[in-house]
Amino acid sequence: MTTRKLLIWTLKIAVSGGITAYILTKLPLDDLAASIRSADFRYFLVAVLLLLPVMLLSAAQLGILTRRQEMAHSIPDLFRINLVTEFYRLFLPGSLATGVVRWHRLARPEKKNAQALAVVAYNRWVELAGTVILGLAFWAADPLARTNRLVPLVFAGLIACFAVLRLLLFTKAAGQFFLSVVLGRLPAEGWIGGSCKRIAKVVRACGDFEGLSRTGQIGVMGTSIARHLVGVVSIVLLARSLGLDLSVANVGWVRSVVLLVLFLPISISGFGVREGSFLILLEPYGVANADAVALSLLLFARNLFTPILGGFLEARNLFRSGDGTRAREVPGEEESPAKSS
């Protein structure tokens, strides 16, 4: 591990550990344990089952994007890729690293590295844009939330930023400008030239999304919004399991804020940051500190099921790969004498 990576991990551990320790000083563990024990796990089970449509919608969303790049991935393939990516999310630092895993799995069958990177980038843009748009909509539907004037300003600013990113990254005009003005002035030979060629492929692949049909655009954003809505309902069920009277609007904008905070690579698996965010955002609704932290922990527990399933699939693939290698090697050794005779 390099010094830079060690420093990053140290800072993340410090953030997660520091916030968690501070919360524990303000929150008696007996109260937290009592809140978790009081949970109705029938609601928790339904919340877990809702992860299935969430993952299916995510696969359908990726399916629209991969078809645009002429990549031969079926929905079941993309479903498995998402599950395996969730498994590595438990161990890799931040969403960027998990994006690398998804990119590698998408690109591997056909060696379409540039197209896979464009798919991952556009998919991430859609996810974050959908999170912000829904967050603003739920904030507007929540009378208590509307008393907070900072939230809409942040959401509006982020929407503007995502609109600019859409123009800069996923339009052919911006891509052509970058290719001619920036890459066109760099040497065409040597390692610089080779790197420029690879970057140019990615830029062109990103620009191809400008030609996505209206039906495709509606499909991509629609599946993203639907996935977020199912996620909101899932958290409402977790709140119900603790006896918390939180509406869809309450949970909707709070979830968007928490997701945006967790997107920042400043903690280990969101520990501390997630709990602190729930504490602060749910306090105006009269949610006790113990219940807010318990809700956060139930959410984390719910989110463990897809990585566990992804880990099972990855382990099975590794064992199959090992068996396949031995199976190919052994028959080869046995057949050669027969052929020579």
**The predicted structure's pLDDT at residue 338:** 39
What is the SS3 assignment for 169? helix
Q: Summarize pLDDT for 74-125 with one digit per residue, the tens.
A: 999 999 999 999 998 877 655 666 788 899 999 988 999 999 999 999 999 9
Unique residue bearing structure tokens 């929150």: 27
Distance CA(140)–CA(172), nearest Å, equals 35
pLDDT digits (tens, 9 = 90+) for 197-213: 999 999 999 999 999 99
The pLDDT value given to residue 88: 86
Q: What is the pTM of this model?
A: 0.86
Whether the per-residue pLDDT at 43 is higher than 80: the answer is: yes
Asked whether residue 330 carries a pLDDT value surpassing 60, the answer given is: no
- Please tell me the predicted confidence (pLDDT) of residue 335: 42
Report the alpha-carbon distance of residue 267 to residue 263 in Å, rounded. Answer: 10
Mean pLDDT of 168-192: 90
| Alpha carbons 45 and 241: distance in angstroms, whole number | 10
Domain extent listing, the chain: 29-318
Per the listing, tokens 């080779």 go with: 194
User: Is there a contact between 246 and 236 (Cβ–Cβ < 8 Å)?
Assistant: yes
Q: What are phi and psi of 188, to 5 degrees?
A: -90, -5
Cα 34-35-37 angle, rounded to 5 deg: 65
Q: How confident is the model over 302-328, as pLDDT tens digits?
A: 999 999 999 999 898 888 766 554 444
Q: What is the pLDDT of residue 3?
A: 81
The token pair at 165 is: 């990113």
pLDDT one-digit tens code per residue, 259-318: 998 888 777 777 888 999 999 999 999 999 999 999 999 999 999 999 999 999 989 888
